[in-house]
Structure 1
Amino acid sequence: MTHALQWLRSLVFVVQIYAMMGVLGILFLPWALFSRRGARAACKAWCVWVRWTARWMVGLRTEVRGTPPTDEVLIAAKHQSFLDIILIFGSVPAGKFIMKRELMYAPVIGQYALRIGCVPVDRGKRSQAIKKMVKDVARGAQAPGQLIIYSQGTRIAPGVKAPYKVGSSVLYQELGQDCVPVATNVGVFWPRKGIMRKPGLAVVEFLPRIPAGLDKAGFMKQLETEVESASDALMTEAGFVLEQEEEARGLD
């Protein structure tokens, strides 16, 4: 009975946040058409709404730890669900994502994402897209801000291991900017797919920045080690049992 009630509450929550996306998209449209600030304001307002309604509708509290950057940096984050997008974007002044090109055609999301400076990339053509984006940044075509990339390229369920893509290291070297790693445990409560949203404390954590200047191999090793270890710690804190912990228990 409790599970069924939580699922129903989750359904209502999911329906209303997407309805509110449409409402805010329309309300902010005149400002967003003439100003990038207006588009960012609409997106940030929706992030605040989602966090607020998640708390009282499904019992999901959210927290941002560490120091979100305010200067021009590369943010390389762990991606578990839509919630980490909301928490990261809502915490930085001018975030812009590297996103799947298909999202360009999604109602509201696609139009506002392009307006705030997100960079669409083709699946399987990521290296070409990164080269073009680096050129755009050098020419000043991209607005200043915090460029956000998901280093594994897609949403990864808690406890699942997946390789880190080369895109993060290419951007890190080509842009010559510091990199701020971000860890998370949001997938424990807000999964990649499905309706159910679980109560608890979902966290994204901005980790100490990696200074510019490392070689690609050194950067990738440090990035993966720091993000994965911090994310594992956050998931353990949330009560998620990692595979290695289960194996250790089996040996006792």
Structure 2
Amino acid sequence: MMLIRSLAYNVIFYALMPVIGLIALPYAIVNRDGAQWAIHTFCRITMWLLPVMCGTRVEVRGRVPEGEVIVAAKHQSFLDIVLIANALKRPKFIMKKQLKWAPILGFYAWRMGCYPIDRGKRGQAIQDMVAKVREERRDPGQLVIYPQGTRTQPGAKVPYKIGTGVLYEEFGLDVYPVATNAGLFWGRNKVLRKPGLAVVEFLEPIPGGMERKAFMETLEQRIEQASDTLHDEGLAHLSKPV
């Protein structure tokens, strides 16, 4: 039964993208606020449907940042993207370059001010990222970056890449670490949506001005420690009968 409900939810989830995208298209073309409205509307509808159809409740904890900041987030699932995008007023994601060609999603990512990066070029990718972020600062928002560079399995330990440290050092902005356990309930390339409580938690910010190495150590320690705590909490929810 849960698999059938998950399949039905997935159909609605992906069908809503073009529907909302087309409805908001005229507004999004002339104004970036239209793109933000479309993304927030999509997130809110799909977040509301998730516990109704699949029993997967969602929760955002901590102080959600406003203004021009960097959000450095643990990434386990499409679900944590949805929760973060909905929580922030003007999110701008650093994303892999291939996504800019995705139908609907690519257009809205561009209109939101997201930054497509060619991760295969490494050093050049970091230079391009810094240049694009500097250019986009004329329209301030919350810059979202995944310090590990990709989705990770719940409980897995994956090295943190230097890109977040470069942005922190270059722009002197406060960085909000974000922990999650979303991958326990919405796995990578998995159809099944599991009942329980999926959490995204905004942690206390790391103020600008630290030396890069110390910053990266602090960032990793805070995110991993909080994500481990959420992981244990999520496992307890999974073990409860539905």
Task: Normalising by structure 2, report the TM-score.
Answer: 0.94
**3-state SS of paired residue (1:90):** helix
| Alpha-carbon separation, structure 2, partners of 1:142 and 1:18 | 32
Question: Given the alignment of the two structures, is residue 57 of structure 1 paired with residue 43 of structure 2, yes or no?
Answer: no
What is the identity percentage for the equivalent residue pairs of Structure 1 and Structure 2?
51
Superposed displacement of residue 175, structure 1: 1.1
Which amino acid counterpart does residue 234 of structure 1 have in structure 2?
L
Aligned residue for 1:80? 76
Which structure is larger by alpha-carbon Rg, 1 or 2? 1
| Alpha-carbon separation, structure 1, partners of 2:97 and 2:236 | 33
| Alpha-carbon separation, structure 2, partners of 1:181 and 1:87 | 15
4+ long deviations beyond 6 Å: none
Aligned residue for 1:189? 185
Aligned residue for 2:172? 176
* CA distance 1:139–1:105, shift in 2 (3 Å): closer
| Alpha-carbon separation, structure 1, partners of 2:169 and 2:160 | 16
Q: Residue 197 of structure 2 is aligned with which of 188, 201, 211?
A: 201
Task: Normalising by structure 1, report the TM-score.
Answer: 0.91
Superposed displacement of residue 194, structure 1: 1.4
Where do 5+ consecutive residues of structure 2 fail to align? Answer: 238-242
**3-state SS of paired residue (2:72):** strand
Whether the 8 Å CA contact 1:127–1:167 is kept in 2: the answer is no
| Alpha-carbon separation, structure 1, partners of 2:188 and 2:62 | 24
| Alpha-carbon separation, structure 1, partners of 2:184 and 2:123 | 31
Deviations 1:141-162 (A, max 9, x none): 6521000000000000101110
Aligned residue for 2:112? 116
* CA distance 1:126–1:49, shift in 2 (3 Å): farther
Which amino acid counterpart does residue 60 of structure 1 have in structure 2?
T
Superposed displacement of residue 214, structure 1: 0.7
| Alpha-carbon separation, structure 2, partners of 1:134 and 1:234 | 32
| Alpha-carbon separation, structure 2, partners of 1:137 and 1:238 | 35
Deviations 1:133-190 (A, max 9, x none): 3234434565210000000000001011100001010011001101000000000000
Equivalent residues in 2 for 1:12-51 (5 A)?
12-51=8-47
Question: Given the alignment of the two structures, is residue 159 of structure 1 paired with residue 155 of structure 2, yes or no?
Answer: yes
| Alpha-carbon separation, structure 2, partners of 1:159 and 1:133 | 29
| Alpha-carbon separation, structure 2, partners of 1:138 and 1:102 | 22
Where do 5+ consecutive residues of structure 1 fail to align? Answer: 242-252
Q: Residue 229 of structure 2 is aligned with which of 233, 237, 240?
A: 233
